[in-house]
C-alpha cells in the first residue's frame, strides 16, 4: 500500500518519518483561501480533509493518504500566515504574556485495494504560554524573516522559542503533526 503525506511542509515530513520510513509526499495544491470557518477545530479538520481528498482523488489503487493543517489562535481568533513583516509584528506582539492554542487537524483516508474507502478525521490542541515580549526583541525577530510562511508567524524551533515559557500538550503537534495520536489511529486501523 502506498503511504502518502499530503503536505509540502519539511517539518511535517521530518515528523512523519518517525512513523513511516517509506512514504511519498504529494502537495495537494488545495486552495485554502475559499474556506471561511471561525472555529479553529472545524477549520483545521476541514482544511486537512480538503488536502487529503485532493491527493486521494488524484491517486489510485491501494493507498493511505494523510492530510494535515495547523492554526494558531488566541481566544478563538485565528492567526494564519502573516502577509508581511507588519502583520507578523502584530501577531507576535499579541502573544506577549498570553497563552495561545495550536490546533492541528488530521484526515486519514485509505483504500486497501478493495474499493472500500475509510476516512478518519481528528484534531489535537496544545497550548504555549508566552512570557512578556519586548518591542526590541520583536524587531530583532523580524530581521530573521523566520515568520515567512509560518502559521502564527513563529515556531518553537526558531529564535522565537525564547519567548515561550511553557508547552501544555504535544510538542510534535505544536510543530505541525501530532505523531503520537496519529500513530495510535494508524495502529488501530492496522496501517502500521
Which residue, 96, 99, 98, 88, is CA-closest to 133? Answer: 96
- With H, G, I as helix, E, B as strand and everything else as coil, classify residue 54: helix
From start to end of 39-133, where are the E strands?
63-74, 77-79, 99-111, 117-130
Are the CB atoms for 103 and 40 separated by under 8 Å? yes
> Which phi and psi angles does 188 have, rounded to 5°?
-60, -30
In angstroms, the Cα distances linking 176 to 7, 15, 35, 94 are: 11, 8, 20, 21
Active-site residue 69, yes or no? yes
- With H, G, I as helix, E, B as strand and everything else as coil, classify residue 102: strand
Considering the candidates 21, 22, 31, 69, report the single residue annotated as catalytic.
Answer: 69
The span from the CA of 122 to the CA of 107, in Å, is 7
Are the CB atoms for 156 and 174 separated by under 8 Å? yes
Catalytic center residues: 69
Amino acid at each position: 500500500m502506498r503511504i502518502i503525506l499530503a503536505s509540502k511542509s519539511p517539518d511535517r515530513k521530518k515528523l512523519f518519518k518517525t512513523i513511516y520510513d517509506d512514504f511519498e509526499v504529494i502537495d495537494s495544491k488545495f486552495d485554502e483561501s475559499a474556506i471561511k470557518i471561525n472555529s479553529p477545530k472545524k477549520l483545521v479538520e476541514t482544511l486537512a480533509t480538503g488536502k487529503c481528498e485532493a491527493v486521494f482523488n488524484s491517486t489510485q489503487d491501494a493507498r493511505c493518504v494523510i492530510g494535515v493543517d495547523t492554526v494558531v489562535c488566541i481566544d478563538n481568533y485565528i492567526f494564519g500566515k502573516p502577509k508581511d513583516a507588519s502583520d507578523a509584528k502584530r501577531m507576535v506582539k499579541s502573544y506577549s504574556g498570553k497563552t495561545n492554542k495550536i490546533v492541528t487537524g488530521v484526515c486519514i483516508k485509505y483504500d486497501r485495494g478493495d474499493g472500500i474507502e475509510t476516512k478518519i478525521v481528528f484534531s489535537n490542541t496544545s497550548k504555549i504560554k508566552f512570557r512578556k515580549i519586548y518591542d526590541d526583541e520583536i524587531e530583532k525577530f523580524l530581521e530573521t524573516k523566520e515568520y515567512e510562511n509560518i502559521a502564527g508567524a513563529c515556531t518553537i524551533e526558531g529564535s522565537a522559542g525564547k519567548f515561550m515559557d511553557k508547552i501544555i500538550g504535544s510538542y510534535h503537534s505544536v510543530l505541525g503533526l501530532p505523531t503520537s495520536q496519529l500513530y495510535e489511529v494508524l495502529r488501530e486501523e492496522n496501517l502500521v
